[in-house]
Amino acid sequence: MFTSATDFSQQSQAEQLLKRGVYLAQKGDHHQAAIAHHQSLALYENLGNSAAIAQVYLELGRAYSKQCRYDLALHCLTLALDRFDSLGDALGRANSLMVCGSMALKLSKCELAITHYEAAQQLYQRWANLSGLANALNHLGRVHRCLDKPEQALDYLCQALEQYRSLGHYPQAASAMLGIANVYLSLGKAPEAIAQGEQALAIYRSLGDHRAEAQSLFNLGLAHQRADHPSQARRLLGESLALAEQIGARAMAAKARQGLSWVTAA
């Protein structure tokens, strides 16, 4: 309950600033996102809204991690975890652990990342949060792939894919398929990699996600190169390059050109 019109006004302003911070983060402007979150934090602290304060610290942890300001990110995430624990908010804790895991992975602390992701997975599973569970499984799969443990990676990624499909989360399902394709490729199973890549490509095309489509075309091109299908590889890499140039994805275009040079040189 608000004790005054001023409290109601501050609450509304804080909510708008928090939403703005999340929106800016989604757009990739993590510096401005952090500014908006700090502004909302000051208002929530004045109001004594502990649940909102915990959420803002989590968002600040995300924003600082994206800016590679890891000391600040860890500080904010620790505060978020403490708040969520005091509130008995298990899902808030799980969400914070996921960010901690991603930050550990950026710092090449793979075992620490696994510890965080596994703790989050257990919480999501206990509270039947299937979306969070799928994300935790997906991240665990990718970490195990980085550790050159393809069998474990494949197990986690296939579990994540099953969850994403059951939830109807098609972009995430396509991302898991690309991860599975990469694992198959590392195991020398090009046909299986191609099958997964083609499914992911179809989803991205249906969603109109051109950046992901270009990446899928690139991955498929490399898979066909591994399968000794040079003409298909050139075609797919050429399509990836053309699409990347069309949408102004310079880094993707550079990768596609490099891929084409590999096929040509082979």
Tell me which residue range forms the domain holding 244: 169-266
Taking the CA atoms of 24, 34, 248 and 238 in sequence, report the sign of the dihedral they define.
negative
Ramachandran angles phi, psi of 48, nearest 5°:
70, 30
Count of the separate structural domains present in the chain: 1
Mean pLDDT by runs of 10 across the 266 residues of the chain is 74 97 97 98 96 98 97 97 98 98 95 98 98 98 96 98 98 98 96 98 98 97 95 97 97 96 81
Q: What is the pTM of this model?
A: 0.90
Residue 261 lies in a domain: yes
Please give the structure tokens belonging to residue 207: 């969603």
Residue 252 lies in a domain: yes
**pLDDT reported for residue 202:** 98
* Contact indicator for 18, 36 with CB cutoff of 8 Å: yes
Estimate to the nearest angstrom the gap between the alpha carbon of 210 and the chain centroid: 18
* Contact indicator for 214, 247 with CB cutoff of 8 Å: yes
CATH of the domain at 176: 1.25.40.10
**pLDDT reported for residue 182:** 95
* Contact indicator for 11, 53 with CB cutoff of 8 Å: no
Please give the structure tokens belonging to residue 184: 């198959």
**pLDDT reported for residue 7:** 84
**pLDDT reported for residue 1:** 47
Q: Nearest CA to 44 among 52, 36, 32?
A: 52
